[in-house]
Structure 1
Amino acid sequence: MASLSTTHVVIGGGIVGAATAFALTARGERVLLLEQHGRGHDRGSSHGASRIFRQGYADAEYVDLTTQALDLWETLERRSGTTLIDRTGAVDHGRPDAVDAIAAALTDAGVPHETLSPDDAAARWPGIAFEGHVLAHATAGRIRSAAALEVFLTLAERTGLADLRFGTRVTGIEDHGDDATVSFISDDVDVETVRTASVVAAVGSWAPTLVGALLAGRGAGLPAVRVTQEQPAHFPSHLPDAAWPSFVHWGEGDGVYGLLTPGEGVKVGFHGTGPVVDPDHRDFAPVPAEAERLQAYVTRYVPGVDATKPTFISCLYDTTPDEDFVIDRRGPLTVATGFSGHGFKFAPLLGELVADLALGGTPLPRFALAR
């Protein structure tokens, strides 16, 4: 058994772990990042080429967080010399109570937006059939998510302070009080251990099994994180790429989101409706009835695509009962989970928040374990 020493051990190489590694190394901290799968893998919640960036929340605190995140995305673009957000704008439509609440929150935050009739919206964006109230805001768009993940990892590496290890599985975390020992193994070496005062578990859907008992031993507990396998799909479009904003439909049933993934089609999905799964034992197969329901929705509300030719995608949601994130620390352990299908847009901010905790800061009350 080999032993190492380091400053911070970050477990998880998805978007939150990568952003945290970058944030810590940017502050001069040493990081050992451990990811059980390959670089940019498709087993969790961070893979794929596109994610929505939007400020369309009815909650003032989340609107403020999107503004902070947008500033950090722009800083990251300048630092990396890489475009990470395409400003396509975003449209919300559907139930007046939901859309009007978002409009009110954007007004209070000073975020520019406009309201349209369904007919005017359809004339501007003919690929979408609108209903109810319609709200658009231009600060939104499409995150180049695969590129963003790689930027965080690459910038962390360039500091010379990050040791990034993929194909490396954590087998245990032992809490000693003021510090902890992390044991891990990869395909080509024996079990290794590292003792550190800072362990960051940025593991999303794996948090309950990896750190649930450790937190319980400190008198804390995760909320009931519901892990589901979601099945959005890409649909081919006959419209030019510029015709597609990001969009959210607040219908009478499940919420629906959509956006273009250039070269792959328009991605459309229900929000958080997939079956509960074990993240280590998934079949990646769409539920036939849900696939049919999605195609029926697209036929009615997304006329700019061919609903008969879906390419289904499989990803994980780690959802808390209130859909608020969990970002908190107990002893040497900082945990980040519960991103509930809307965390990616906040990635650079999440990295900063987690890094703050790893360096002894205090959590945002909304995201604390004891909220």
Structure 2
Amino acid sequence: MSATRYAVVGAGLMGAATAWQLAARGEEVVVLERDVPASSEGSSHGSARIFRYAYPDPFYADLVVQAERLWDRLEEDAGRPLINRVGCVDHGATRDPERLARVLEGIGVEHELLSPREAGARWPQFVFDTPVLHQPRAGVLDAQSTVEAMLELAVAAGAQLRTSWPVASITRTGSGFTITGPAGESVEAAHVVVAVGGWLPDLLRQLELPSAFLAALPELTVMQENAYHFPYRDPTQPWPTLIHKDVLQVYGLPGGRDADHAGQKLAEYNGGRPMRSAAQQDGRIDPANRARVVEYVRQNLPGLVPEPYAETTCLFTNTPDEHFVLDTADGVTVVSPCSGHGAKFAPLIGAMAAGLATGPADVPAVFRPGTGALVR
């Protein structure tokens, strides 16, 4: 048995970010990961996640600006780039590019609002039929490399990392918690940070948290999402990331290392299969979803061959309103449900989680449903 001040359960983006921030503050930290960091069975694997500023809600757009400062620090401390600034184009009848442009104007983020004709001349590999918002400093963040960088910095600052360490139980004791893992091994911790993504619905039942806190947490729906890589017709043509919201809501981005740098990753947002928890995932692609995305490519992306050469699944852990959950009670900090749009905020969420775990923290009230229930 070993003892620590803070145990962080889960070494995906949010767990790694929290461990980095805690260790950077000089705190004693042990990270417990059921598999390997950025595991392929979780939500943080691979080389391709969208980094963008555009949100219809200025609250989230401003949070991206805040997060970017920590991305800059992370890249500097890690000594390598983690975001490839290829830009992003947002378009579609229900994406409302004009509204997004007004939001970015209000917070001072560089952007352009282009007519369909102007955008089509610049990116002939797309079909545009609405105005197009271009964010030149948006791009692709490398999720796996980001996890690795944050954990390297955490370990360099004194944190311990234990892999292949699935948590069997978390039991409250007089001094905190006993976390039991494989072969009866255990860790004593004064405070537990739970950042387990799609496994959260199962783990919450073990945590002996106040009933009011648990009752106030939003219902969580774990989605097994499908993603496809389509080959570029012209491999020399530069591709931005994209969000297109019309009949379908589709996102796409250069697949990078995941796709041998040969294609664009495309997915229908929340087009997958709902599950109770990550334990129910089977990694099988939904044929109907594949058919929808292939037809989308055929109609809207002439720069791609409409046949995927690779495909995979990943997990979203959704709340009904797509707000994050970042709250704490009785020695447990809950960090994770990010509704498929959290990767870009990871360093900031880690800083907020570290603040919650160590004492009072400036965390938006909308992320703290449990604490709000306790103080009413």
Instruction: Report the TM range for the smaller structure's normalisation.
Output: over 0.9
**Is contact 2:224–2:315 with CA below 8 Å preserved after alignment?**
yes
Report what 1:55 is aligned to: 53
**Is contact 1:94–1:132 with CA below 8 Å preserved after alignment?**
yes
Q: Deviation at 1:167?
A: 0.5
Q: Deviation at 1:193?
A: 2.3
Report what 1:313 is aligned to: 312
* 2:198 aligned residue (183, 201, 205): 205
Once residues 289 and 114 of structure 1 are traced to their aligned partners in structure 2, the CA distance between those partners, rounded to angstroms, is: 36
Q: Deviation at 1:76?
A: 1.0
* Counterparts of residues 156-167 of structure 1 (less than 5 Å): 156-159=154-157, 161-167=158-164
Q: Secondary structure at the match of 1:293?
A: helix
- Matched to 1:182, the amino acid is I
Judged with a 3 Å threshold, the aligned counterparts in structure 2 of structure 1 residues 242 and 86 are, in CA distance, closer, same or farther, namely farther
Once residues 242 and 29 of structure 1 are traced to their aligned partners in structure 2, the CA distance between those partners, rounded to angstroms, is: 47
* 2:166 aligned residue (158, 166, 169): 169
Once residues 96 and 50 of structure 1 are traced to their aligned partners in structure 2, the CA distance between those partners, rounded to angstroms, is: 25
- Matched to 1:318, the amino acid is T
Once residues 40 and 241 of structure 2 are traced to their aligned partners in structure 1, the CA distance between those partners, rounded to angstroms, is: 22
**Is contact 1:53–1:140 with CA below 8 Å preserved after alignment?**
yes
Once residues 170 and 356 of structure 1 are traced to their aligned partners in structure 2, the CA distance between those partners, rounded to angstroms, is: 24
**Is contact 1:177–1:331 with CA below 8 Å preserved after alignment?**
no
Q: Secondary structure at the match of 2:212?
A: coil
Once residues 169 and 296 of structure 2 are traced to their aligned partners in structure 1, the CA distance between those partners, rounded to angstroms, is: 44
Q: Deviation at 1:241?
A: 5.6
Q: Deviation at 1:350?
A: 1.1
Report what 2:232 is aligned to: 237
**Is contact 1:227–1:276 with CA below 8 Å preserved after alignment?**
yes
Q: Deviation at 1:169?
A: 0.8
Q: Deviation at 1:337?
A: 2.0
Q: Deviation at 1:352?
A: 0.5
Q: Secondary structure at the match of 2:166?
A: strand
- Matched to 2:199, the amino acid is W
Q: Deviation at 1:155?
A: 1.2
Q: Deviation at 1:214?
A: 2.9
Once residues 97 and 289 of structure 1 are traced to their aligned partners in structure 2, the CA distance between those partners, rounded to angstroms, is: 24
1:256 aligns with 2:256: no
**Is contact 2:33–2:162 with CA below 8 Å preserved after alignment?**
yes
Report what 1:45 is aligned to: 43
Q: Deviation at 1:197?
A: 2.0
**Is contact 2:95–2:245 with CA below 8 Å preserved after alignment?**
no
Q: Deviation at 1:264?
A: 4.4
Once residues 146 and 174 of structure 1 are traced to their aligned partners in structure 2, the CA distance between those partners, rounded to angstroms, is: 31
**Is contact 1:16–1:351 with CA below 8 Å preserved after alignment?**
yes
Report what 2:76 is aligned to: 78
**Is contact 2:170–2:206 with CA below 8 Å preserved after alignment?**
no
Q: Deviation at 1:309?
A: 3.1
Judged with a 3 Å threshold, the aligned counterparts in structure 2 of structure 1 residues 212 and 220 are, in CA distance, closer, same or farther, namely farther
Q: Deviation at 1:274?
A: 0.7
1:286 aligns with 2:255: no
Report what 1:179 is aligned to: 176
Once residues 318 and 186 of structure 2 are traced to their aligned partners in structure 1, the CA distance between those partners, rounded to angstroms, is: 31
CA deviations on 1:301-327 (whole Å, 9 max, x unpaired) are 111111123411110000000001000
Identity of aligned residues (%): 39
Once residues 23 and 365 of structure 1 are traced to their aligned partners in structure 2, the CA distance between those partners, rounded to angstroms, is: 21
Once residues 290 and 237 of structure 2 are traced to their aligned partners in structure 1, the CA distance between those partners, rounded to angstroms, is: 27
- Matched to 2:228, the amino acid is A
**Is contact 2:225–2:270 with CA below 8 Å preserved after alignment?**
yes
Report what 2:273 is aligned to: 275
Report what 1:148 is aligned to: 146
Q: Which moved more, 1:13-22 or 1:193-202?
A: 193-202
Judged with a 3 Å threshold, the aligned counterparts in structure 2 of structure 1 residues 242 and 10 are, in CA distance, closer, same or farther, namely farther
- Matched to 1:255, the amino acid is Q
Judged with a 3 Å threshold, the aligned counterparts in structure 2 of structure 1 residues 132 and 13 are, in CA distance, closer, same or farther, namely same
CA deviations on 1:171-219 (whole Å, 9 max, x unpaired) are 111234772222212xxxx312223221000011111110245365442
Report what 1:227 is aligned to: 222
Judged with a 3 Å threshold, the aligned counterparts in structure 2 of structure 1 residues 97 and 42 are, in CA distance, closer, same or farther, namely closer
Judged with a 3 Å threshold, the aligned counterparts in structure 2 of structure 1 residues 241 and 170 are, in CA distance, closer, same or farther, namely farther
Once residues 149 and 242 of structure 1 are traced to their aligned partners in structure 2, the CA distance between those partners, rounded to angstroms, is: 29
Report what 1:350 is aligned to: 349
**Is contact 1:99–1:250 with CA below 8 Å preserved after alignment?**
no
Structure 2: stretches of 5+ with no match in the other structure: none
Structure 1: stretches of 5+ with no match in the other structure: none
Once residues 124 and 174 of structure 2 are traced to their aligned partners in structure 1, the CA distance between those partners, rounded to angstroms, is: 59
Q: Secondary structure at the match of 1:10?
A: strand
Judged with a 3 Å threshold, the aligned counterparts in structure 2 of structure 1 residues 230 and 339 are, in CA distance, closer, same or farther, namely same
Report what 2:9 is aligned to: 11
Report what 1:266 is aligned to: 264
**Is contact 1:127–1:239 with CA below 8 Å preserved after alignment?**
no
- Matched to 1:304, the amino acid is G
**Is contact 1:21–1:351 with CA below 8 Å preserved after alignment?**
yes
The count of aligned residue pairs is 363
Q: Secondary structure at the match of 1:168?
A: coil
Q: Which moved more, 1:285-294 or 1:31-40?
A: 31-40
Length-normalised TM-score, structure 2: 0.92
Once residues 130 and 298 of structure 2 are traced to their aligned partners in structure 1, the CA distance between those partners, rounded to angstroms, is: 18
Q: Deviation at 1:101?
A: 2.1
Report what 1:193 is aligned to: 186
